[in-house]
Structures are given as structure tokens and as C-alpha cells.
Amino acid sequence: MHAIENRDMEVSQNSLKDFREQTLDRMALIACPFIIPFGFWYLYLRDYAMGALMLVVALTISVRFFRGYKDKFDPFMSWLLSLELITAMLFGYATVGVAAAFWSYPLFFAIVFLWPRKQSGYAMILALSVLVPAAFIYLETALAIRLGLTLILFSYMGYQLVGVLLEMQGRLESQAMRDPLTGAYNRRYLVKVMRQSTEEMQRGIGPVSLVALDVDHFKSINDTFGHETGDTVLIKLVAAMHAMRRNLDVVCRSGGEEFVIVLRNTDDPGARVFADRLRQTIEQTELLAGQVVTVSLGVAEYLEDETEDQWLRRADTFLYKAKHEGRNQVQPPPPPQLVIADAVIG
């Protein structure tokens, strides 16, 4: 159960990162067309420091979002951009005065998305500790008080609101990748994790194999005992698979009574041994009262240059072979010497 929660957390964190990065991309597309003209305007007014700073901010945004940083969180670039934005606001307070104060609010909103949730809180505290005292130096006291209070309130409300949005986004993404009946991942997530696994293998991280699984005579179970009982069998089956898999392995329901397990860092012989152990465990587990439920399995290690569809099709081909040759077996069969060694270790 903890392994399932950990993978859900990983999926949720990846979803939050994607959502944050997509939001930052949109903000960059909006911000740059606004910032660049103001930068040149200040240069035209011979306020070279302010104009240059605004153009540097625009350049940093462009680098951060359009030159390779969007796929990987970079603390240095986030700190650099945060400090540039805070510095620009200080210059604005000192040179423009009240007109610059209005730009404080989008600044704090941007900071929320520049960082993961916890770090964004620290960044906002830093910005408040710099800008609120500066407001009392460069602005009228009454205005500085109102600005300081509204910035604190805006920061708190924005921090909480964005946190709720990110959490909801993560939950929705996680739910969209889960089969509601069994709790296994669905076919959508299977496609995603297969693509990730093949990319990892191409980078030399390690072999990856698929185990395609189908419940033998499942239609007969539904016809004899009812669909509710059939659903219970599937739920218990997935629980048995989760109990045997490692944290890095992924159990997916590809459709009906068919499932696929993605085994990372596992070659073909190892995957076949795992599949046979799983077959035996399921046969010995009481999935249906008074009845023995068996499964047929097909194994395929990813081969270089084949597509994900071809890879999955090979696993399905071996699965159908196991069904046609008598069910309750693994195709290709596990190497005898590895089965013996596994039995001795077990």
C-alpha cells in the first residue's frame, strides 16, 4: 500500500510540475510583450538603469522558459529571476513612485509559480521583507501602509489559492490515470510509462520488460457467479500483483480482465521468472471462494528500435500463445535453471 501511495505521490508531483511549468510558459508569453516596450521606453527617457534592468528581466524570462530550462526545475534561474524582479520593483519605487506599486501584485503572483509550493513561501517572505520597508522609504506613509497590508494579504491569499489549484490538478491527474474498480493504472498511464521506460533504456539506464496477463475463463466466472463477483476477483488479483511487484514496477489494467506489468531494470529471463512466480501465487491465492483462479501470461523485453505498439503486441502474442497452449502458463517459459535457482532462494 505504501508503494502505491509513493507512486501516486510521484505522479502527483510530476503533474504539479507540468502544471506549474505550463502556467509559467503562459505568463512568460504575456509578460515579455509588456516588459520589453517599458524597458525601451525607460531607455528613451534616459533612465538607463531601469530600462536596462527591465530588458535583463525579459531576457532572463526568455532564457528560463524557451532555452531548455522548462523541462527541469533550475533553482539558480528561479532565484536570479526573483531577485531581478524584486530589484526592478525597488528601482520602480525609487524612480516612479506610486505607479510602480501596482506592479507589485503580478510580481508576487509570478513568484508563486517560479518555485515549488514551500520555496515560493520563502521567496514571498523575502520579497515582502524588502519591498514593504522600501515602500515606507520612497512612498507616502499612508500609501505605504495600505500597500504593505494589501501585499501581505494578497501574498497569503495567492499562496493558499495556488496551493489548492495545484493540489486539485494533481488529484485530477492521478484519478485520470487510475482504473476506478481495481486501483491499477489505466491504459493511458501504461502508454506514458512505456514511453518513459523505453527512453530510459535508450539512455542506458537498464532493460525493461512487459508482462501481459489475462484471467483464464473469466467470462465463465461472470456468467456463473455474476459480474459483482467477477469484479471482486479482479480487485483481489490486482492486490496480489501489487504485493509481489517492486516499487519501480507498474501494474496497469489494459482492458477487461487483461493487465500489463511494466518491469524496469528487468531483462527477459528475469521477467519470465517473475511472471511464473506471479502465476503460481495467483493460483494459490483464493480469489474466488471454493474455486481455483488461474492466469496466462506473456513476456516481452523491449528491443532496440521497436515502437511501443510493437513491444506491447509481442507481449500480447505470447499471452495468446499461452492461452492457446492450455492456459495457466507463461510464454516464453522461464529458463529451467533460473526457476530452480529461484526455488532454492525462496
Q: Which residues are catalytic?
A: 257
* C-alpha torsion 95→101→105→111, nearest 10: 30
C-alpha cell at 288: 474466488
- Are the C-beta atoms of residues 230 and 222 closer than 8 Å to each other? yes
Cα 256 versus chain centre, distance: 26
- Are the C-beta atoms of residues 295 and 306 closer than 8 Å to each other? no
CA 90 to CA 108: how far, in whole Å?
A: 14
Report which DSSP code applies to 214.
E
Report which DSSP code applies to 213.
E
Element (H, E) at 210: strand 208-215
Report which DSSP code applies to 68.
S
**What one-letter code names the amino acid at 109?**
F
Question: Cα-atom radius of gyration of the chain, to the nearest Å?
Answer: 28
Give 108's contacts (C-beta < 8 A, 6+ positions apart): 124, 127, 151, 154, 155, 158
CA 287 to CA 294: how far, in whole Å?
A: 9
C-alpha cell at 147: 500597500
Report which DSSP code applies to 300.
E
CA 41 to CA 341: how far, in whole Å?
A: 76
